[in-house]
Amino acid sequence: MALVGMPVGWFAPEYRFLSEAWRDMVKLLEPYTTRSNATEHRIELVTGGVVEMWSLDSGNAGRSRKYARAIVDEAAMVPGLMQVWTDAIRPTLTDLRGDAWFMSTPKGRNDFWQLYTYGMDPLREDWQCWQMPTSTNPFIDSDELEAAKRELPEQSYQQEYEARFLEGGAVFTKIKEAAIAKHQGYAQDGHSSHPKHRYVIGVDWGKYEDYSVFAVIDTTTRELCHLDRSNRIDYVVQIERLKELCQRFQVGQIVAEGNGQETTIELMQRANLPVQPFTMTHHAKHDLIEALRLGFQNGKLKIIPDPVLMAELQAFEATRLPSQGIRFAAPPGYHDDCVMALALAWDAAKDDTVVKFERRR
């Protein structure tokens, strides 16, 4: 970008990372450099382009600048990355409609992980993500990789060489093993023992910042088979979408979040939708999440491999409260709308499965 005459900002977590990148940048751009200032970490090029490099251990890094591209190196190591991005770096891209690159080795499920999940979200069309293990680098000898794999702990190798985001203290396990269900667009005909599949829908409401999610579970096969996710849509329109979904799957029950949704629940009832409001108290949510956790752990629940859902499940965490209780929620800045819709649907689906089993005895 700088070689075509545009300004570029390079950001590093702290000075020791910046100094090494500065030396490499000076050497790389030397043939095109007209002026270089080591104190300001600024390089001016013959094209009119500029590269400015900043250490993010200063709260004022990049402020008041205008960049066509911002590059954050070792982004996973930046404390408070989301706030740095929204308060300092993102405003520098507005004037020139610039873009941003976040590059890093993963360090658990932190702010860098959250930005990575943006790239998997089809509703965030201006974000993309890539995961490139060391083996994709043609300059690294395969023998060296094999040696590292033998010598390092498995988790260290997975993070440092395979670029994996490790789960840490996540609530749900066996998520990838469960992600083998097939997407269904309509109700499925069965066979002699199950003439027609049965379906339930879990609903977690959102309108602006959060998302509304409709999770459809086929209780006959115990599979999440359809996920409808949207935001910034009027509730009346959302209910029409839900009504259409019920018709396609001939849904027998909808379990919908009821807290603060009295008007929405009433609209659903007027539309003759088979809604059952769910009051989300602390204890009710605890039981809901525990049931979903066991569904994954025991292999009873299968899900479609939706990237947004899987990212939410992997990030969802349990926090010990001062009262010694457990709080289940997404980390600050994350969403859990898909998780909660799935949990509500599973609450109905697992009971529906038991009833059918008892009737067959």
User: Do residues 11 and 117 share a domain?
Assistant: yes
pLDDT for res 234 = 84
User: Do residues 120 and 200 share a domain?
Assistant: no
User: Do residues 232 and 324 share a domain?
Assistant: yes
User: Tell me: the pLDDT tens digits for 16-58?
Assistant: 788 889 999 999 999 999 999 999 999 999 999 999 999 887 6
Mean pLDDT, the chain, as a whole number? Answer: 86
In three-state form (DSSP H/G/I as H, E/B as E, the rest C), the secondary structure along 44-65 is: EECCCCEEEEEECCCCCCCCCC
User: Do residues 82 and 184 share a domain?
Assistant: no
pLDDT for res 164 = 83
CA distance 112 to 8: 21
Q: Which of 93, 128, 159 is the last residue of a domain?
A: 159
User: Do residues 247 and 353 share a domain?
Assistant: yes
User: Tell me: the pLDDT tens digits for 190-214?
Assistant: 554 556 889 999 999 886 667 889 9
Cα distances from 28 to residues 5, 32, 45, in angstroms, run: 16, 9, 12
Cα distances from 280 to residues 5, 10, 258, 259, 287, in angstroms, run: 55, 45, 7, 6, 10
196 alpha carbon, distance to own chain's centre = 34
User: Do residues 186 and 131 share a domain?
Assistant: no
**Tally of domains in the chain:** 2
Does the residue 191 lie in any domain? yes
Q: Please report, as a single letter, which amino acid is at residue 256.
A: A
User: Do residues 230 and 354 share a domain?
Assistant: yes
User: Tell me: the pLDDT tens digits for 54-99?
Assistant: 988 766 788 889 999 999 999 988 888 888 999 899 999 999 999 9
Question: For the whole model, what pTM was predicted?
Answer: 0.65
Q: How many CB atoms are closer than 10 A to CB 132?
A: 10
Domain that holds residue 69: 2-159
For the chain, count helices (H), then strands (E): 11, 13
Calculate the CA dihedral of residues 165, 170, 171, 177 and round it to 10 degrees: 20
pLDDT for res 61 = 82
Does the residue 77 lie in any domain? yes
Does the residue 169 lie in any domain? no
User: Do residues 146 and 194 share a domain?
Assistant: no
pLDDT for res 191 = 56
Which residues, 6 or more positions from 109, have their beta carbon under 8 angstroms from its beta carbon? 165, 166, 167, 168, 170, 314, 315, 317, 331
User: Do residues 184 and 155 share a domain?
Assistant: no
User: Tell me: the pLDDT tens digits for 241-282?
Assistant: 999 999 999 998 999 988 888 888 998 999 899 999 999 988
CA distance 313 to 231: 19
For 68, the token pair is 């066509």
